Structure 1
Amino acid sequence: MSIIICPGIHEPDLTESFILECLDPSFDSLKRQNQGKVLIYPGHSLLALSSLHIVQFLGDRLQHELKSPVIFLSFSAGVVGAIGAACAWQLLGGNVKAFIAIDGWGVPLSGNFPIHRMSHDYFTHWSSSLLGGGHNNFYAEPPVDHLSMWRSPQKVKGCWVDSSVEVSASPVRLTASEFLHILVTRYEEN
């Protein structure tokens, strides 16, 4: 399984911070099993919006191993390019295990694969859910600034909400990095 990271339009240092602070522990089991790859799409400029360039990047890196399962993990403007790339990859015969959008406010999300949204506040969570998303999502509580979700998800506390569960059920409290770890572990096992 490969994790495809699609950053937004921001300084590359933020993505490095995200990987060091959040992803390294989550992907240790993938690395130990020698079956996983963490691929970081280098388009931190307007190319973050380009689904075509992301699909080309995947084809080059995965050597067109379409059946190899992938998880898309995208942030901010990178969500725009990543959702199109995930749908295109699947149309080409690729195996998209899941799509995780971190603070992709205003981006409609739909696909024939599980979709999860993570938001920096409740308003973004609520308003984005009107544009599609899955059952298991996360929002920061208390709210944080937009870049904190990518820079330091291990410090962002919030709520895991499952829209398939009864409304009266209390959301689960955890950090953004714990939520990501749970999702990735779930898709590793299935």
Structure 2
Amino acid sequence: MSAKRHRVRVVVCPGIHERALTQQFIEGLLTTGEERLHPASWLVFPTDRYPAYSGLHILRFLHEKLSTHSPDAALHTPLILIGFSAGVVGAVSAACGWRSLGGVVKALIAIDGWGVPLIGDFPMHRMSHDAFTHWSSALLGAGEDSFYADPSVDHLDLWRSPQIAAGYWVKPGSSSPPRGTSAATFLTALLCDYEALL
């Protein structure tokens, strides 16, 4: 008998900003036309109640939301964490903590996590509001496929309106030039690749 397959859960870790921006971010992703995108089931970490940069608070939040019959039940749920700005700090810390507890992290997506090292034994991706932030952040870990806006957009606009942030999809080690796309399309494609839309 095969083991039960657990659905991948998306965990959104906002930065320090108005809550409405996170809702606009999610609505912006819906414009890609990906019918399998189900953000109603996503877990949005409440940064109005806890520090955005606190991995410990994110872990507690995850155990509270995902533990059903036993505390260990949560760890059987594979996660994709999407962090923005200060939320990248919390997301990286929580992802590493989740792994150390025996949980599965399918991927971490760091949106404008400038100055935040990408560490962990799971796939990581960067998204940046301009080319300088993108290339300078890569010094602390480029991760796998990444995106940067060009022309540049405001830091908060990348979160608020990913559907209008045009830029380039960069594949590390590829001889092909970066491909033009939007931040929303790039992110939705990653979620599809990691089976978060199934």
In the alignment, which residue of structure 1 is the partner of 2:28?
Answer: 21
Aligned alpha-carbon RMSD (Å) = 2.0
For 1:81-160, what aligned pairs fall within 5 Å after superposition?
Answer: 81-160=90-169
- What is residue 62 of structure 2 aligned with on the other side? 58
Q: CA deviation at 1:26?
A: 7.2
- Cα distance in 2 between the residues matched to 1:57 and 1:24: 29
Distance 1:163 1:25 in 2: 24
Q: 2:44 aligns with which of 23, 40, 43?
A: 40
What's the TM-score once normalised by structure 1's chain length?
Answer: 0.91
- Kept in 2, the 8 Å contact 1:30–1:37? The answer is no
Q: Distance in 1 between matches of 2:34 and 2:79?
A: 13
- How far off its partner does 1:65 sit? 1.9
One-letter amino acid of the counterpart of residue 47, structure 1: P
Deviates more, 1:128-137 or 1:50-59: 128-137
1:21 is displaced (CA, Å) by 1.6
Matched, 1:179 2:186: yes
Q: After TM superposition, give the deviation of residue 135 of structure 1 in Å.
A: 2.1
Contact 2:162 2:184 in 1 (8 A): yes
- C-alpha displacement at 1:162, in angstroms? 1.0
- Mapped to 2, the partners of 1:25 and 1:139 lie a distance apart of 18
- The one-letter amino acid paired with 2:18 is E
Q: Which amino acid aligns with 1:170?
A: P
TM-score using structure 2 length: 0.87
Q: 1:170 aligns with which of 173, 177, 187?
A: 177
> C-alpha displacement at 1:37, in angstroms?
3.0
For 2:48 and 2:111, the matched residues in 1 are separated by 15
Aligned match of 2:4: none
Identity %: 52
Alpha-carbon distance in 1 for matches of 2:33, 2:9: 13
Give deviations 1:46-78, integer Å, cap 9, x for gaps.
610111000000001111421211100010010
Contact 1:9 1:45 in 2 (8 A): no
What residue identity is the alignment partner of 1:50? Answer: S
Q: 2:195 aligned with 1:188, yes or no?
A: yes
Deviation (angstroms), 1:12: 0.5
Determine the C-alpha separation between the residues in 2 that align with 1:90 and 1:27.
29
- Aligned-partner SS, 1:108: coil
| Alpha-carbon distance in structure 1 between the residues aligned to 2:166 and 2:37 | 26
Which runs of 4 or more aligned residues in structure 1 lie more than 4 Å from their structure 2 counterparts after TM superposition?
23-28
